[in-house]
Amino acid sequence: MNIDPHSIISPSAKIGQNVEIGPFCVIEPDVCIGDNCRLDSRITLKRGTVLGTGNNIGSGTVIGDKPQHTAVKDSYGKVIIGNNNTFRENTTVHASMKESEATVIGSNNYLMVNAHVAHDCVIGNDNVLVNNVMLGGHVHIGNRVNLGGAVGVHQFCRIGSLAMVGGQAHVIQDVPPFVTVDGLTSRIVGLNQIGLRRNGRTIEEVNVLKEVYRLIYRSGLTWTEILQQLQNNYAVGPCAEMTQFLLATKRGIVSERRSFNAPLRLVDNGDEQESSVIESRTLKINVG
């Protein structure tokens, strides 16, 4: 154990083996730090924070502080963090609103500079949150999700596994698994095929996911009809996660980005000769 003498450590904090704590850190009571964690400088771990093993915490990070909510009481919950996560400089993670509950972050996540995780969020494993990502309260994120710089996620939204959200997108509805969200329009632009391939999904599995994508976004069916077809035809196999995700949505899902190639022609007095194209838009859709 290597603790800088300029740090303030509560005697009741539990600190594991081979932990490094740099200068000017504050470790409050009822904090648990697992083996092989490394804390840089000026880090605050508030009461009730639990760190697993092998976590790296960057300078200025604050974990377990009071939720940013007007209804929060003096007593509030915890933050529970898994193993081998990286929190870069000035990351903030807030505790749960309820004393008996916790904000939860899994393992092998990478949270970059200024990322913010609000109260009662649940984050899975192997996710990347780029600089200045902002998660509202009660946001749920699956596994292997990539959120680009300055993405904002509205409270109570869910983001499915292997989704990729482009920088500066504003997410106000659920993002299904396996899709890509364009940062400019905040709309879905197809499957995250690179992510699917890198995570071992076969061509056959991707082709089935394409079928489901077209069913959801291009079939013209009602939402009830889409859910019925998903339950009937895609309840098992590579699309089962997508089916279960959509069945559980309460906020609806992010729509697809579409534009139309529909020229508007101006005809003089019914003359069917040459007309002028005054507007043309290009169809830009990528299912893969």
The CATH number given to whatever domain includes residue 42 is 2.160.10.10
Asked whether residue 150 is domain-assigned, the answer is no
> Given this model, what pLDDT does residue 287 score?
47
Asked whether residue 223 is domain-assigned, the answer is yes
pLDDT digits (tens, 9 = 90+) for 178-206: 999 999 999 999 999 999 999 999 999 99
User: Is the confidence at residue 77, as pLDDT, over 50?
Assistant: yes
Domain count within the chain: 2
- Do residues 25 and 106 both lie within one domain? yes
> Given this model, what pLDDT does residue 237 score?
85
Among 88-92, 188-192, 283-287, name the one with the lowest average pLDDT: 283-287
Q: What share of the chain is helix, strand, coil (3-state, %, to 5)?
A: 15, 25, 60
List phi, psi (to 5°) of 78. Answer: -120, 180
> Given this model, what pLDDT does residue 70 score?
92
d(CA 102, CA 119): 8
Asked whether residue 280 is domain-assigned, the answer is no
Residue 23 CB-half CA count within 13 A: 1
Which of the four pLDDT bands, split at 50, 70 and 90, describes residue 61?
Answer: very high
User: In this structure, which long-range contacts are made by residues 255-259, counting pairs with CB atoms below 8 Å and at least 24 apart in sequence?
Assistant: 255/187, 255/188, 255/217, 256/187, 256/188, 256/189, 256/217, 256/218, 256/285, 257/182, 257/185, 257/187, 257/188, 257/189, 257/284, 257/285, 258/187, 258/283, 258/285, 259/283, 259/284
d(CA 140, CA 149): 18
> Given this model, what pLDDT does residue 108 score?
98
> Given this model, what pLDDT does residue 286 score?
44
User: Is the confidence at residue 283, as pLDDT, over 70?
Assistant: no
Percent with pLDDT over 90 in the chain? 86
Catalytic residue ranges: 119-120, 137
> Given this model, what pLDDT does residue 33 score?
98
- Do residues 122 and 225 both lie within one domain? no
- Give the mean pLDDT of 134-148: 98
Asked whether residue 76 is domain-assigned, the answer is yes
Which of the four pLDDT bands, split at 50, 70 and 90, describes residue 1?
Answer: confident
Asked whether residue 152 is domain-assigned, the answer is no
Which of the four pLDDT bands, split at 50, 70 and 90, describes residue 278?
Answer: very low
* Residue that terminates a domain, selected from 107, 138, 169: 138
Which of the four pLDDT bands, split at 50, 70 and 90, describes residue 259?
Answer: low
For 66, counting Cβ atoms within 10 Å of its Cβ (0-12 exposed, 13-18 middle, 19+ buried), the class is middle
Domain residues for 21? 2-138
Asked whether residue 62 is domain-assigned, the answer is yes
- Do residues 121 and 203 both lie within one domain? no
Asked whether residue 148 is domain-assigned, the answer is no
* Residue that terminates a domain, selected from 95, 113, 138: 138
- Do residues 25 and 125 both lie within one domain? yes
Q: Greater confidence, 140 or 272?
A: 140
> Given this model, what pLDDT does residue 206 score?
95
- Do residues 116 and 227 both lie within one domain? no
Average pLDDT, the chain: 91
> Given this model, what pLDDT does residue 246 score?
96
Among 90-104, 131-145, 208-222, 258-272, name the one with the lowest average pLDDT: 258-272
> Given this model, what pLDDT does residue 238 score?
83
- Do residues 132 and 243 both lie within one domain? no
User: Is the confidence at residue 118, as pLDDT, over 60?
Assistant: yes
* Residue that terminates a domain, selected from 88, 118, 138: 138
Adjacent-strand bridge partners of 93:
63, 117
**Other Cβ atoms closer than 10 A to 102:** 21
- Do residues 206 and 132 both lie within one domain? no
Q: Residue 26: in which H helix or E strand, if any?
A: strand 26-27
- Do residues 133 and 211 both lie within one domain? no
List phi, psi (to 5°) of 63. Answer: -125, 130
pLDDT digits (tens, 9 = 90+) for 147-172: 999 999 999 999 999 999 999 999 99
> Given this model, what pLDDT does residue 29 score?
97
> Given this model, what pLDDT does residue 285 score?
39
- Do residues 98 and 20 both lie within one domain? yes
